[in-house]
Structure formats: C-alpha cells, structure tokens
Amino acid sequence: MTEKFPREKVGGWKTKTSSIVYENPWLKVSHEEVITPKGTDGIYGVVHFKNIAIGVVPIDDEGNTWLVKQSRYTLNQFTWEIPEGGCPQGESPLNAAQRELEEEVGLQAHNWQQLMTMHLSNSVTDEFCVVFVARDLFPGQQQLEVTEDIEVKKLPLIDAIEMVKRGEITDGISVAALLRVALG
C-alpha cells in the first residue's frame, strides 16, 4: 500500500514518513517522522495492535464473579484479572468474549451486555478494548491455550471490587471494568 505524505492527522499533526520497524502476528511497531501541532519536526513511535482487546465480567445470580490468576511474561509476576483475550479481524467482539470466557474459566452465558469500550494506552498505542458483562451462566469446557497458566477463582463481586481498591488487581482492563460495574 502506497501512502501519500505528508499525511494530515487531527489536532494539526502531520506524518512525513512512516516505516515499520517490527511486526509479528499480534502487533506492528512504526517509526514516524512528524510535524507537531506547533509546526516543529519530531518523531513518534506507534504500536498498532492487530486484535481488539476483550474483557468479560461474569456475574452469577448470587452476585459472584470469576477472576483468573496468571503469569504475565512482561511483568515477571502473577496478576489477578477478569477473563480477557483478543478479538482477531473478522470475529465479532461478542463472539470473542464468549470464546474467552469458556476457554479461560469454563463458563458460558445466555445473557451478554456490552459494558464499555476504552483505549488502553493512547499515547503510544492504538489498542482498543471492549468489555462485556456475562449473566445467566452455565458450565462450559475450559480450554487453556499453551501460553496460559491460569488459576480460576470464584468470589463475591464485591470482594473483587475491594481487591481493586486495595491495589491487588492492577490490570487496566480489569480495574476499569470492575469499577464500572460497581458504579452501576
């Protein structure tokens, strides 16, 4: 694909050049020479995510939810999170959420509601997230991927929200989703 430069962007930004410095099946990193809104020359590193991030807050009739504990390579630590995953191009966010809930937790749901959308780190990435609430839950088949070492924990939703308040849940999608559910 040939792009025309300079490329106009919102806010007075202009892209003079763009070159891919790294790419894999999940993301692409570009180095861009830009003209800033004040008219000066600059550079920008942009991380483009090829999947939409997906999060699910499962809630049963008794007010319980499920969290997953897994090792995160980049942090070199274990984290507690809501069930999360990626939605590749061509798959609907709802289908991806349904798949992730069953893969990670072993649950399915009859009732799905989109809770929120969010940008996760918009100063350097274009990563976009869609979060759902799943209700009317029933058993499915947990099918962990080879990269997942997940421990599943069922607990009262209010306890998960308290974990956020105490700083025990630090994953951005999980923090935002649980606090959004708490707000009603």
Share of the chain above pLDDT 70, in %: 98
pLDDT band of 103, cuts 50, 70, 90: very high
How sure is the predictor about 161, in pLDDT bands with cuts at 50, 70 and 90?
very high
Contact between 80 and 110 (Cβ < 8 Å): no
Helices 157-165 and 172-183: angle between axes, nearest 10 degrees: 120
pTM: 0.92
Q: Say if residue 86's pLDDT is above 80.
A: yes
